[in-house]
Amino acid sequence: MTANVKTSFFSQAWLVLILAICFGALLAGMQIALGPTIEANKTNETLGRVPELVFGKDRAQELIERKQTVAINPQSVGVEKAGKTLRYSVFETRTDGELAGWVVKTAGQGYADKIEMLIGLDPNIEKITGIFVLDQKETPGLGNKIVTHEWRSQFLAKATDKPLVTVKGKASAANEIDAITGATISSKAVTDTINATVNNLRKPLVDKAKGK
Amino acid sequence: MMNYLVDIFLIAVSAALINNFVLHYFVGICPFVGVSRRIEMAFGMGCAVTFVISIAAFISWAITTFVLVPGAPLSQWIAGFFVPAETAAKVDLTILSYIVYILAISSSVQFVEMYVRKFYPPLYKSFGVYLPLITTNCAILFACLTIMANIVGVDDPADAWDLGRSLVLAIFGGVGFTIAIVIMAGIREELDLCDVPEPFKGAAITMIVAGILALGFMGFTGVDSGLRKALTPKAGNHALIEEGPSSPMGAQITTNHHIG
Amino acid sequence: MAEQPTSLERFIQGILPENPVFRQLLGLCPVLAVTNNMKSAITMAGAVLFVLFCANVIVSLIRNLLKPHLRIVIFTLTIATFVTIADRFLAAYLYQMSKTLGPYIPLIIVNCIIICRCEVCASKQGVITAGADAIGTSIGFGLALSAIAAVREILGTGMFFEIRVLPAAWPDWVVMVLPPGAFLTFGLLIGLVNWYESFRTAKAGRTQGQTT
């Protein structure tokens, strides 16, 4: 009985092996064919947003039409905080060799889960030139609205000298942001993340700008 | 060290309660509907799933970290025999992840089946056909996929999940599954005595009850960020006390600390 | 050997009478997870169609070589390969959708529908019949997903395929796009289908006279 099972097992195993080899080859071929496209998708997700965040939509469009090259240099900036090193992914943007701005990829705890975003900053970290939400799992219809263009456009040209504050009514002072009705926590999460990130990166990036 | 423990604790709470595998991620629904008639069976199924999920998570973490990712030790060593070292460092076998995981899960289930048949024959008989069916339980593959996403999908290799986090996610995911299925079994035992309309008997009423359960579990949203703030020593940044629908007090307290 | 259903019968059975979701209650994970909106539902149905069709055809081609002990392993290997192909394809050409669907595409591997169809149909019948069965089952699956997604999207966001169909005054029932809404919608629809089936068979019983 055991001998039968053994022989039949091996006589069947050849099919599994042949199939495994065929499928392996198929998958390897697919990896070679599609790998570059997928990598490009991943990097373009962030890189593609950088011109718009640094220059604003209109000027970025203008640069594309004039075929001006925008050099984007991804870097990793470490910040010492409470004994730990926080690493930020920073995109240094230059046109014609001159520093045009920074884009920082950062994340913060939102209402439901982490909110990942890109923050555009001017060369001296004095103004916010735009934000873009990469990933969020906030409540659809409420916290979800942080991705909308109208809400995000509030952050354009906001100064970074004072921390941003969310208000429930109409935003009046220069550092106030109108919170989304019914989604105060998500709105606060975004402003808090921006405040923390700008605070952490102000010195290193200003030093980098001067050092270059 | 403290940070690590806080991390582990929060992963555990998140996997078991806040992002419950059944009621939030919708994995493991088939046994949830099929096996939740009696509490003992449901609890047995929950334990079996937890056991298999831990073994499968361990195997998938090990294979992903040591064989599949670009720059993994084992694949580098083997490829080093055939190609120069720089190319060997870039060998990326992640395309084989799904096949590897499902084969790991099948083997784990086979192993568990043999073990249970040898040492607990009456338990094996009571499981019947449901034990081999654990292979097609989405929850196990989902745990493996989450672990993979936290190893392969992170920008900084230093953030890749280690064995501790992966095992905690798997075990407490299984615990969450057990909690959900046992609650459902308890409710269904009562439902058997109720006057359910004919078209709704069986799966339909189970789904509706599951919806109400999911609504209840939604109350846990935000608990993990609150716990994190409570457990992390004030390293600065900002403190927020959650307001909103999940707060039992409906309090409107917001405190905001900024570094100078 | 009992007479086996023809291609046409397999095709039609898969759509409504033996609908994999509502009648057989198989493959429930994606049914609840990706039916937030129509786009995800249709993409998932398309992916399942691709995997089911390829898997059925391959299994049908090698059906005479299958031995009892290893057939599940062979099914699993085949399905996993095609799911990897579908997943990579989506990541390359529909990157946003791939990120939205997340882990639910690889979860097609353990979707009971596909293994069940391989076991019941493809391992026993010819290529044409297996193909027809795959297409019929996928259409049934797609219909089920669309039904649930339509209800959830219209009631939850007032939109259908991201086009506004309900007046702006409609207060979005946000719970419909969240987990509880998925369970409730699905439960109510199962009840509806069960009621319709019992109504239809009762009518057929009455018109045919006394049938046991």
B25 to chain C: which residues are within 8 Å by CB?
33
CA distance B240 to chain A (A): 9
**For residue C27, what pLDDT band results from cuts at 50, 70 and 90?**
confident
Closest CA to C192 of C21, C9, C12: C21
Nearest to C41 by CA among C161, C159, C178: C161
Numbered residues of chain A with Cβ closer than 8 Å to any chain C Cβ: 8-9, 11-13, 15-16, 19-20, 23, 26-27, 30-31, 34, 37-38, 41-42, 45, 135, 139-142
CB neighbourhood size of A83 (10 A): 7
CA of C81 to nearest chain A CA: how many angstroms apart? Answer: 6
Q: Which of B103-112, B246-255, C77-86, C122-131 has the lowest mean pLDDT?
A: B246-255
Find residue A88's DSSP bridge partners.
Answer: A77
Q: What is the CA radius of gyration of chain C?
A: 19
Nearest to B99 among C26, C77, C110 (CB): C77
Residue of A nearest to C66 (CA): A12
* A2 — pLDDT class (breaks 50, 70, 90): low
pLDDT on residue B253: 31
Taking alpha carbons only, the member of B126, B242, B20, A124 closest to residue C183 is B20
Whether the predicted pLDDT of A63 surpasses 90: no
Average pLDDT over residues C130-157: 90
* Nearest Cα residue to B25 out of B34, B17, B33: B17
| Tokens 């085949």 found at | C78
Contact, C31 vs C120, CB < 8 A? no
Q: Note whether A185 contacts B258, CB cutoff 8 Å.
A: no
- Average pLDDT of A69-91? 80
CA atoms of A91 and A83, how far apart (whole Å): 25
pLDDT at A8: 60
Average pLDDT over residues B140-147: 93
Q: What pLDDT score was predicted for residue B57?
A: 93
Tell me what pLDDT residue C52 has: 94
How far CA C47 is from CA of A119, B101, C54, C83, in Å, comes to: 35, 20, 11, 8
Q: Does B89 touch chain C (CB under 8 A)?
A: no
* A89 interaction partners in chain B (CB closer than 8 Å): 155
What are the backbone angles phi and psi of residue A23, rounded to the nearest 5°?
Answer: -65, -40
Q: Which residues contact B147 (CB under 8 A, 6 or more apart)?
A: B57, B60, B61, B64, B161, B166, B169, B170
Min Cα distance C3 → chain A (Å) is 29
Alpha helices (H) along chain C: 7-15, 28-33, 38-61, 71-93, 95-101, 112-117, 127-157, 179-207
pLDDT 10s digits, B163-176: 999 999 999 999 99
Tell me which residue in B26, B106, B208 faces C76 most closely, judged by beta carbons.
B106
Using a 10 angstrom Cβ sphere, with 0-12 exposed, 13-18 middle and 19 or more buried, the burial of residue B215 is middle
- Dihedral Cα B44, B46, B49, B54, nearest 10 deg: -110
CB atoms within 10 A of CB A211: 6
pLDDT band at A9 (very low <50, low <70, confident <90, very high): low
Q: pTM for this one?
A: 0.86
Type of residue at A101: G
Q: Please, what's the b/e burial string for B161-175 (b: 16 or more CB within 10 A of its CB; e: otherwise)?
A: beeebbbbbbbbbbb
Check whether A125 has a pLDDT greater than 90: no
- Contact at 8 Å (CB) between A191 and A176? no
Residues of B in contact with A23 (CB under 8 A): 99
The first and second tokens of residue C134, run together, are 């795959």
Please answer whether residues C186 and C32 qualify as being in contact, where contact means their C-beta atoms are separated by less than 8 angstroms. Answer: yes
Residue C87 pLDDT level (bands cut at 50, 70, 90): very high
Least Cα separation, residue B119 to chain C (angstroms): 24
C25 Cβ partners below 8 Å, 6+ apart?
A: B30, B33, B203, C190
pLDDT digits (tens, 9 = 90+) for A146-183: 888 888 888 888 888 888 888 888 878 888 888 888 88
Interchain contact, A87 vs B156, CB within 8 Å: yes
Contact with chain B for residue A72, Cβ under 8 A: no
Token representation of residue A38: 């997928």
d(CA A6, CA A12): 10
Residue whose C-alpha is closest to residue B19's, from B146, B208, B165 = B146
CB C28 within 8 A of CB C19: no
The predicted pLDDT at position B215 comes to 92
**How confident is the model at residue C85, as a pLDDT?**
94
Q: Which residues contact B50 (CB under 8 A, 6 or more apart)?
A: B171, B174, B175, B177, B178
Out of C112, C115, C190, name the one closest to residue B204 (CB).
C190
Residues in C touching B184 (Cβ below 8 Å): none
The neighbours of chain B, by the rule of 3 or more Cβ pairs under 8 Å, are: A, C
Give the whole-angstrom CA distance, residue B62 versus residue B191: 44
**ipTM of the complex, rounded to two decimals:** 0.88
Does the CB of A95 have a partner CB in chain B at under 8 Å? Answer: no
**Mean pLDDT, residues B40-44 taken together:** 87
Q: What is the pLDDT of residue B140?
A: 93
Give chain C positions within 8 Å (CB) of A140: 36, 156-157, 174, 177-178
Q: Would you say residue B247 has pLDDT above 50?
A: no
DSSP state of C51: H
pLDDT for A212: 53
Question: Which one of C85, C123, C176 would you mutate to disrupt binding with A, by most A Cβ within 10 Å of its Cβ?
Answer: C85
The per-residue pLDDT for B49 is: 92
Q: Do A38 and C91 touch (CB under 8 A)?
A: yes
Query: Is the Cβ–Cβ distance between A201 and A88 less than 8 Å?
Result: yes
What's the rounded mean pLDDT across residues B231-236?
63
What does the block give as tokens for C182?
């998925």
Nearest by CB: A185 against B95, B236, B244: B244
Residue B193 is encoded by which pair of tokens?
A: 């005595």
Closest CA to B140 of B220, B16, B21: B21
Looking from the CA of A158 toward its CB, the CA atoms found within 13 Å total: 28
φ, ψ for residue A182 (rounded to 5)? 85, 0
pLDDT digits (tens, 9 = 90+) for B57-114: 999 999 988 888 877 788 777 777 777 777 767 777 888 889 999 999 998 888 888 8
CB < 8 Å to C91, chain A: 34, 38, 41
**Inter-chain residue contact B199 with C198, CB threshold 8 Å:** yes
Residue partners of B238: CB distance under 8 A and separation at least 6 = A192, A195, A196, B256, B257, B258
pLDDT given at position B239 = 34
User: Is residue A114 a contact partner of residue A186, using CB atoms and an 8 Å limit?
Assistant: no
Question: How many residues are there in chain A?
Answer: 212
Span of A9-13, A64-68, A126-130, B43-47 with lowest mean pLDDT? A9-13
Q: What pLDDT was estimated at residue C3?
A: 56
**At residue B59, what is the residue type?**
I
Instruction: Place C83 in a pLDDT band, splitting at 50, 70 and 90.
Output: very high
Query: In whole angstroms, what is the distance from residue B95 CA to residue B99 CA?
Result: 9
**Least confident residue range of A165-169, B24-28, C15-19, C39-43:** C15-19
Q: Which runs of consecutive H residues, i.e. helices, occur in A159-183?
A: none
**pLDDT confidence tier of residue C21, bands split at 50, 70 and 90:** confident
SS3 A13: helix
Read off the pLDDT band of B260 (50, 70, 90): very low
pLDDT of residue C148: 92
Q: In which band, very low, low, confident or very high, does the pLDDT at B41 lie, cut at 50, 70 and 90? A: confident
Nearest to B148 by CA among B34, B25, B64, B241: B64
